């Protein structure tokens, strides 16, 4: 009998072959717009042009794409949601981005997506700044607060997803070197908008003791300008994939490890993870062990996270 049938709350665990086409379709967001690697920041419609603001997760910048608008202010019957200009803007930016200067913040293209002009004027930059909190505002234990690294001292080996990179720590006066060993790698998690989520997660991962099946804080990452603001944190790197990417045959020993990690969090440390899902469970390919990641939704029993403030006395799971 599949493990998921024995433990209904682990419904994300499935044996190979149990997923149906319908299940795969259900996992796709209906009506999702494919903009490639870009995220939609906004769109403005003018009589003769569309201005589409696209977020590039690789450069963490917003670039405005201006393209012709043949329909004026009317709502075309063939595209009532005005999705065509969005996809055309993403295609045009994909085509030209590698040929633009790093400081480019806006481009204009013609109806055939040929580049007409670009701008590096900071007044055209729509990238939002982030008001990072000072390290002292986290009020962390001294041993944790002393484990820091500047963002400029990180070497980005791979950009994995929005808000997460694989990095190594640069050695003083030495150039970056190829990462030969997994132990030289770390995961760097960061925020580019609100710092509230980062504050909550760091309060959890910074205070937990080391655990074989939990991915916790290694160092706090500080901005290179002041050396006093927290822009993210690093964790140890796991050479493996999450369950939603690999879908392996789930082993009983992994279930024991997961249950032990949950028990330790709940009973020893009074922490509820709140987001135990296949995307947050890694299988270490070297040790064949399970690791629980992402404490962004976690909270400490007695204090509930809700919006931008804490409420005392919440103890539900």
- At residue 218, the 3 state secondary structure works out as strand
Q: Are 222 and 150 in contact (CB under 8 A)?
A: yes
Residues near 68 by Cβ (< 8 Å), separated by ≥ 6?
48, 49, 50, 110, 111
- At residue 140, the 3 state secondary structure works out as coil
- How far is C-alpha 231 from the chain's CA centre? 13
Nearest in space to 271 (alpha carbons), one of 301, 313, 302: 301
Nearest in space to 198 (alpha carbons), one of 221, 218, 225, 227: 221
Domain ranges for the chain: 39-124, 135-312
């072959």: which residue's tokens?
17
Q: Which helix (H) or strand (E) holds 281?
A: strand 281-284
Calculated CA dihedral for residues 168, 172, 178, 182, nearest 10 degrees: -40
Nearest in space to 273 (alpha carbons), one of 208, 207, 317: 317
pTM over 0.75: no
Residue range 172-198, pLDDT digits in tens = 666 656 555 567 899 999 987 778 888
Domain 135-312: top CATH class: mainly alpha
- At residue 244, the 3 state secondary structure works out as helix
Segments of the chain with pLDDT less than 70: 1-32, 172-182, 304-317
Residue range 294-303, pLDDT digits in tens = 998 998 888 7
């Amino acid at each position: 009998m599949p493990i998921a049938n024995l433990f209904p709350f682990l419904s994300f665990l499935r044996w190979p072959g149990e997923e149906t086409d319908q299940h795969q379709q259900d996992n796709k967001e209906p009506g999702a717009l494919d903009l490639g690697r870009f995220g939609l920041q906004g769109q403005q419609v003018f009589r003769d042009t569309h201005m589409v603001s696209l977020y590039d997760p690789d450069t963490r910048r917003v670039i405005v794409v201006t393209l012709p608008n043949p329909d004026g202010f009317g709502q075309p019957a063939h595209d009532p949601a005005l999705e065509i200009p969005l996809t055309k803007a993403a295609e045009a930016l994909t085509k030209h981005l590698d040929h633009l200067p790093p400081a480019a913040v806006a481009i204009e293209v013609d109806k055939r997506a040929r580049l007409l002009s670009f701008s590096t004027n900071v007044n055209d930059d729509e990238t939002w700044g982030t008001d990072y909190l000072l390290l002292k505002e986290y009020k962390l234990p001294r041993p944790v607060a002393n484990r820091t690294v500047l963002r400029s001292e990180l070497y980005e080996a791979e950009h994995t997803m929005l808000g997460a990179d694989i990095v190594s720590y640069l050695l003083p006066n030495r150039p970056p070197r190829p990462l030969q060993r997994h132990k030289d790698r770390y995961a760097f998690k960061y925020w580019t908008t609100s710092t509230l989520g980062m504050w909550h997660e760091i309060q959890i991962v910074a205070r937990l003791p080391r655990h074989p099946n939990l991915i916790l804080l290694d160092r706090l990452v500080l901005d290179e300008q002041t050396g006093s603001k927290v822009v993210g944190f690093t964790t140890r790197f796991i050479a493996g994939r999450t369950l939603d990417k690999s879908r392996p045959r789930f082993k009983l020993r992994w279930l024991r490890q997961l249950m032990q990690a949950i028990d330790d969090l709940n009973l020893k440390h009074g922490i509820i993870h709140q987001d135990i899902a296949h995307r947050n469970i890694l299988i270490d390919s070297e040790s064949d062990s399970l690791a629980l990641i992402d404490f962004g939704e976690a909270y400490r029993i007695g204090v509930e996270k809700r919006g931008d403030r804490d409420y005392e006395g919440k103890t539900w799971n």
